[in-house]
Chain A
Amino acid sequence: GQNIDQPTEMTATEGAIVQINCTYQTSGFNGLFWYQQHAGEAPTFLSYNVLDGLEEKGRFSSFLSRSKGYSYLLLKELQMKDSASYLCAVRDHNNAGNMLTFGGGTRLMVKP
Protein backbone atom coordinates (compact mmCIF):
# COMPACT_ATOMS: atom_id res chain seq x y z
CA GLY A 1 0.00 0.00 0.00
CA GLN A 2 0.90 3.64 0.09
CA ASN A 3 1.76 5.88 3.02
CA ILE A 4 1.47 9.62 2.39
CA ASP A 5 2.35 12.22 4.99
CA GLN A 6 1.84 15.97 4.97
CA PRO A 7 1.50 18.52 7.76
CA THR A 8 -2.00 18.96 9.13
CA GLU A 9 -2.03 22.74 9.32
CA MET A 10 0.09 25.72 8.28
CA THR A 11 -0.29 29.46 8.69
CA ALA A 12 1.29 32.13 6.50
CA THR A 13 1.00 35.84 5.84
CA GLU A 14 -0.54 37.48 2.80
CA GLY A 15 2.14 38.25 0.21
CA ALA A 16 4.59 35.70 1.61
CA ILE A 17 5.80 32.34 0.27
CA VAL A 18 4.82 28.99 1.78
CA GLN A 19 6.10 25.48 1.11
CA ILE A 20 3.90 22.47 1.82
CA ASN A 21 5.81 19.19 2.02
CA CYS A 22 4.62 15.70 1.21
CA THR A 23 6.45 12.42 1.70
CA TYR A 24 5.26 9.13 0.33
CA GLN A 25 6.07 5.44 0.23
CA THR A 26 4.80 3.39 -2.66
CA SER A 27 5.99 0.29 -4.49
CA GLY A 28 5.03 1.36 -8.00
CA PHE A 29 5.21 5.15 -8.19
CA ASN A 30 3.47 6.47 -11.26
CA GLY A 31 2.94 10.19 -10.63
CA LEU A 32 2.13 12.70 -7.92
CA PHE A 33 -0.70 15.23 -7.96
CA TRP A 34 -1.51 18.30 -5.89
CA TYR A 35 -5.11 19.40 -5.46
CA GLN A 36 -6.62 22.45 -3.75
CA GLN A 37 -9.86 22.08 -1.84
CA HIS A 38 -11.83 24.94 -0.36
CA ALA A 39 -14.18 24.03 2.46
CA GLY A 40 -17.31 22.37 1.16
CA GLU A 41 -16.09 22.34 -2.42
CA ALA A 42 -14.60 19.89 -4.89
CA PRO A 43 -10.84 19.32 -5.02
CA THR A 44 -9.38 21.15 -8.02
CA PHE A 45 -6.23 20.10 -9.86
CA LEU A 46 -3.10 22.19 -9.30
CA SER A 47 -0.12 20.23 -10.59
CA TYR A 48 1.29 16.90 -11.69
CA ASN A 49 4.85 15.54 -11.40
CA VAL A 50 6.13 12.23 -12.69
CA LEU A 51 9.79 13.10 -13.31
CA ASP A 52 12.22 14.66 -10.85
CA GLY A 53 12.38 18.42 -10.79
CA LEU A 54 10.32 21.53 -10.57
CA GLU A 55 7.09 22.28 -12.42
CA GLU A 56 6.09 25.93 -12.38
CA LYS A 57 2.63 27.25 -13.08
CA GLY A 58 2.12 30.88 -12.25
CA ARG A 59 2.23 31.47 -8.49
CA PHE A 60 2.29 27.73 -7.83
CA SER A 61 5.24 25.36 -8.28
CA SER A 62 5.62 21.69 -7.43
CA PHE A 63 8.81 19.74 -6.93
CA LEU A 64 9.43 16.00 -6.96
CA SER A 65 12.33 13.78 -5.87
CA ARG A 66 11.50 10.16 -6.58
CA SER A 67 14.60 8.79 -4.86
CA LYS A 68 13.61 10.55 -1.65
CA GLY A 69 9.87 9.94 -1.95
CA TYR A 70 9.37 13.66 -1.49
CA SER A 71 7.41 16.47 -3.05
CA TYR A 72 6.58 20.01 -2.14
CA LEU A 73 4.08 22.59 -3.31
CA LEU A 74 5.33 26.17 -3.29
CA LEU A 75 2.86 29.03 -3.22
CA LYS A 76 4.21 32.53 -3.90
CA GLU A 77 2.66 35.95 -3.34
CA LEU A 78 0.04 34.46 -1.08
CA GLN A 79 -3.48 35.80 -1.32
CA MET A 80 -6.33 35.44 1.15
CA LYS A 81 -8.17 33.23 -1.34
CA ASP A 82 -5.33 30.70 -1.07
CA SER A 83 -6.70 29.69 2.34
CA ALA A 84 -7.75 26.10 1.65
CA SER A 85 -6.70 22.49 2.12
CA TYR A 86 -3.93 21.21 -0.14
CA LEU A 87 -4.03 17.52 -0.95
CA CYS A 88 -1.04 15.47 -2.06
CA ALA A 89 -2.00 12.33 -3.99
CA VAL A 90 0.05 9.52 -5.46
CA ARG A 91 -0.70 7.14 -8.28
CA ASP A 92 0.66 3.58 -8.14
CA HIS A 93 0.86 1.43 -11.28
CA ASN A 94 -0.02 -1.59 -9.17
CA ASN A 95 -3.52 -0.17 -8.74
CA ALA A 96 -6.22 -0.53 -11.33
CA GLY A 97 -6.91 2.53 -13.40
CA ASN A 98 -5.42 5.78 -12.25
CA MET A 99 -6.94 5.82 -8.80
CA LEU A 100 -5.24 8.22 -6.45
CA THR A 101 -4.15 7.66 -2.86
CA PHE A 102 -4.43 10.91 -0.94
CA GLY A 103 -2.66 12.27 2.08
CA GLY A 104 -4.73 13.77 4.86
CA GLY A 105 -4.42 17.26 3.45
CA THR A 106 -2.72 20.41 4.75
CA ARG A 107 -5.05 23.17 5.87
CA LEU A 108 -3.43 26.50 5.01
CA MET A 109 -4.59 29.70 6.67
CA VAL A 110 -3.46 32.95 5.10
CA LYS A 111 -3.56 35.91 7.46
CA PRO A 112 -3.49 39.61 6.54
Chain B
Amino acid sequence: GAGVSQSPRYKVAKRGQDVALRCDPISGHVSLFWYQQALGQGPEFLTYFQNEAQLDKSGLPSDRFFAERPEGSVSTLKIQRTQQEDSAVYLCASSLLDRVGNEQFFGPGTRLTVL
Protein backbone atom coordinates (compact mmCIF):
# COMPACT_ATOMS: atom_id res chain seq x y z
CA GLY B 1 0.00 0.00 0.00
CA ALA B 2 0.92 3.65 -0.23
CA GLY B 3 3.26 5.11 2.32
CA VAL B 4 3.28 8.58 3.83
CA SER B 5 3.32 11.26 1.16
CA GLN B 6 4.20 14.91 1.44
CA SER B 7 3.84 17.85 -0.89
CA PRO B 8 5.47 19.84 -2.20
CA ARG B 9 8.79 18.02 -2.13
CA TYR B 10 10.66 21.29 -2.54
CA LYS B 11 9.57 24.80 -1.68
CA VAL B 12 11.49 28.04 -2.13
CA ALA B 13 10.03 31.03 -0.33
CA LYS B 14 11.04 34.63 0.00
CA ARG B 15 11.55 35.87 3.53
CA GLY B 16 8.22 37.01 4.92
CA GLN B 17 6.13 34.75 2.71
CA ASP B 18 3.62 32.26 4.17
CA VAL B 19 3.94 28.57 3.26
CA ALA B 20 1.76 25.49 3.71
CA LEU B 21 3.15 21.97 3.75
CA ARG B 22 0.89 18.98 3.30
CA CYS B 23 1.11 15.47 4.74
CA ASP B 24 -0.97 12.47 3.70
CA PRO B 25 -0.44 9.74 6.32
CA ILE B 26 -0.95 6.04 5.80
CA SER B 27 -4.67 5.31 5.74
CA GLY B 28 -5.98 4.34 9.16
CA HIS B 29 -3.01 5.64 11.10
CA VAL B 30 -4.18 7.38 14.23
CA SER B 31 -0.98 9.18 15.23
CA LEU B 32 0.70 11.86 13.12
CA PHE B 33 3.91 13.71 13.86
CA TRP B 34 5.77 16.63 12.34
CA TYR B 35 9.55 16.90 12.66
CA GLN B 36 12.06 19.50 11.48
CA GLN B 37 15.44 18.29 10.21
CA ALA B 38 18.29 20.72 9.68
CA LEU B 39 21.09 19.74 7.33
CA GLY B 40 23.33 17.08 8.87
CA GLN B 41 21.20 16.80 12.00
CA GLY B 42 18.63 14.38 13.34
CA PRO B 43 14.91 15.19 13.14
CA GLU B 44 13.49 17.36 15.93
CA PHE B 45 9.92 16.99 17.14
CA LEU B 46 7.48 19.78 16.33
CA THR B 47 3.96 18.56 17.05
CA TYR B 48 1.77 15.46 17.48
CA PHE B 49 -1.82 14.61 16.58
CA GLN B 50 -3.99 11.75 17.69
CA ASN B 51 -6.78 11.71 15.13
CA GLU B 52 -7.84 15.36 14.84
CA ALA B 53 -6.65 16.35 18.31
CA GLN B 54 -3.34 18.15 18.61
CA LEU B 55 -2.03 16.66 21.86
CA ASP B 56 1.44 18.15 21.90
CA LYS B 57 2.78 21.25 20.17
CA SER B 58 5.67 21.88 22.51
CA GLY B 59 8.24 21.60 19.71
CA LEU B 60 6.86 24.38 17.53
CA PRO B 61 9.62 27.00 17.53
CA SER B 62 7.40 30.07 17.47
CA ASP B 63 3.83 31.24 17.07
CA ARG B 64 4.51 31.59 13.35
CA PHE B 65 4.18 27.80 13.12
CA PHE B 66 0.72 26.29 13.05
CA ALA B 67 -0.45 22.74 12.32
CA GLU B 68 -3.87 21.24 11.82
CA ARG B 69 -5.49 17.90 11.03
CA PRO B 70 -9.17 18.81 10.87
CA GLU B 71 -10.58 15.44 9.79
CA GLY B 72 -8.03 13.21 11.44
CA SER B 73 -6.30 12.31 8.20
CA VAL B 74 -4.43 14.87 6.08
CA SER B 75 -2.38 17.38 8.02
CA THR B 76 -1.04 20.80 7.08
CA LEU B 77 1.90 22.59 8.64
CA LYS B 78 1.74 26.32 8.04
CA ILE B 79 4.59 28.73 8.57
CA GLN B 80 3.77 32.42 8.52
CA ARG B 81 6.23 35.20 7.69
CA THR B 82 9.02 32.73 6.95
CA GLN B 83 12.55 33.51 8.14
CA GLN B 84 15.86 32.17 6.89
CA GLU B 85 16.25 30.03 10.00
CA ASP B 86 13.11 28.14 8.97
CA SER B 87 15.08 26.57 6.10
CA ALA B 88 15.08 22.82 6.76
CA VAL B 89 13.46 19.56 5.74
CA TYR B 90 10.03 19.10 7.31
CA LEU B 91 9.23 15.43 7.87
CA CYS B 92 5.84 13.96 8.58
CA ALA B 93 5.43 10.55 10.21
CA SER B 94 2.44 8.41 11.09
CA SER B 95 1.89 5.34 13.22
CA LEU B 96 -1.03 2.99 13.61
CA LEU B 97 -1.75 3.42 17.28
CA ASP B 98 -0.29 5.19 20.26
CA ARG B 99 1.34 2.07 21.64
CA VAL B 100 4.77 1.17 22.87
CA GLY B 101 6.89 -0.17 20.06
CA ASN B 102 4.72 1.02 17.20
CA GLU B 103 7.13 2.24 14.59
CA GLN B 104 6.68 5.55 12.89
CA PHE B 105 6.58 5.62 9.10
CA PHE B 106 8.14 8.71 7.61
CA GLY B 107 7.33 10.61 4.47
CA PRO B 108 10.06 11.88 2.11
CA GLY B 109 9.88 15.37 3.57
CA THR B 110 9.48 18.86 2.17
CA ARG B 111 12.73 20.75 1.73
CA LEU B 112 12.01 24.40 2.50
CA THR B 113 14.51 27.06 1.46
CA VAL B 114 13.86 30.61 2.59
CA LEU B 115 15.78 33.26 0.66
Contacts and interface: CB of A to CB of B under 8 A. Distances in A.
Nearest to A97: B48
Q: Is the interface of B mostly helix, strand, loop or mixed?
A: loop
Interface residues on B, range: 20 to 34
Contact of B48 (A48, A96, A104): A96
Interface string A1-21: 000100000000000000000
A96 B56 contact: yes
B25 interface: no
A2 B108 CA distance: 25
B18 to A, nearest CB: 25
B43 interface: yes
A99 B56 contact: yes
Interface in A5-51: 30-31, 33, 35, 40-45, 48, 50
Nearest to A33: B103
Contacts of A95: 56
Given A42-B91, A43-B43, A103-B42, A97 B106 contact: no
Interface string A87-105: 1010100011111111111
Contacts of B41: 104-105
Given A87-B43, A105-B41, A98 B102 contact: yes
A42 B106 contact: yes
B17 to A, nearest CB: 24
A101 B45 contact: yes
Contact of B91 (A43, A48, A50, A99): A43
Interface of B: 3-4, 31, 33, 35, 40-45, 48, 50, 55-56, 91, 95, 98-109
Interface of A: 4, 30-31, 33, 35, 40-45, 48, 50, 87, 89, 91, 95-105, 107
**Interface pairs A-B: 4 shortest CB-CB:** A102-B42, A96-B56, A42-B106, A45-B103
8 contacts: A31-B101, A89-B42, A91-B100, A98-B95, A98-B100, A100-B43, A102-B44, A105-B40
Given A43-B91, A98-B31, 4 more contacts: A40-B108, A97-B98, A100-B104, A105-B40
